Chains A and B, each alone.
Chain A
Amino acid sequence: EVQLVESGGGLVQPGRSLRLSCAASGFTFDDFAMHWVRQAPGKGLEWVSGIGWNSGSLGYADSVKGRFTISRDNAKNSLYLQMNSLRAEDMALYYCAKDMSGLPSLAFDIWGQGTMVTVSS
């Protein structure tokens, strides 16, 4: 079964850091680009960051550029998002999503169930 499972979310104070992980299974992980997408409570979807199959082609939304770092470990079939200097507006459900192919992307065909990040003092 093709599956993405996110972990690492939680409650964090403003200005602190958090690292999200996404474990992939059921497909050849290193054949595809991967992405993080977030959704604030009651709001729409926001693309956060993407990474090519070989850890190239890194991309970030302007809202997180310079604070978040995406990475992957193909040997562990895992995707990561290091989030630094967290702000209240970063509070959201963070989804890991598989690209249909490489970059440029056609669409995101597999999504995890998300991990919630709460930023509050």
Chain B
Amino acid sequence: IQLTQSPSFLSASVGDRVTITCRASQGIDSYLAWYQQKPGKAPKLLIYAASTLQSGVPSRFSGSGSGTEFTLTISSLQPEDFATYYCQQLNSYPQLTFGPGTKVDIK
């Protein structure tokens, strides 16, 4: 199963609403997770099961979707949110895949 993310790069300002889309090449129910990675750091889990917020993650992050199209939304971008975001499908073990990533940069 292949994942695509759009956009691949996004320039935004603090306070902006940001939406990132992840599309799967075939249906994956809700077996989708979102991660945030900052330079030099390990990825951090934000969302699992497409829309469940991981404990400790700010509520400005939300996820939606099922089947083949999913979105990650940041309702009001904060300075600490500038990072690269990856989606991951977990429907087809043992072939788990990540999306190519979306880099969110400061405008």
Binding site for B on A (CB under 8 A): 35, 37, 44-47, 50, 57-62, 95, 100, 103-109, 111-114
Contacts and interface: CB of A to CB of B under 8 A. Distances in A.
Given A44-B100, A100-B48, A111 B90 contact: no
A114 B42 contact: yes
4 smallest A-B Cβ distances: which pairs? Answer: A59-B94, A107-B48, A107-B33, A111-B42
A50 B49 contact: no
Contacts of B48: 100, 106-107, 109
State the main secondary structure of chain B at its contact with A. Answer: loop
Interface of B: 31, 33, 35, 37, 42-45, 48-49, 54, 86, 88, 90-91, 93-101
Contact of A106 (B49, B94, B95, B101): B49
Contacts of B86: 44-45
A109 B54 contact: yes
Interface centre among A37, A45, A58, A104, by most chain B C-beta atoms within 10 angstroms, is A45
A104 B42 contact: no
B45 A108 contact: yes
A109 B45 contact: yes
A92 B49 CA distance: 28
A109 B54 CA distance: 8
B42 A50 contact: no
Given A44-B98, A50-B94, A104-B91, 15 more contacts: A35-B96, A44-B86, A45-B101, A47-B96, A47-B97, A47-B98, A50-B96, A57-B93, A105-B93, A107-B33, A107-B45, A109-B45, A112-B42, A113-B42, A114-B42
A112 to B, nearest CB: 7
B93 A59 contact: yes
Contacts of B99: 44
5 contacts: A45-B37, A106-B31, A108-B35, A108-B43, A111-B43
Contacts of A62: 95
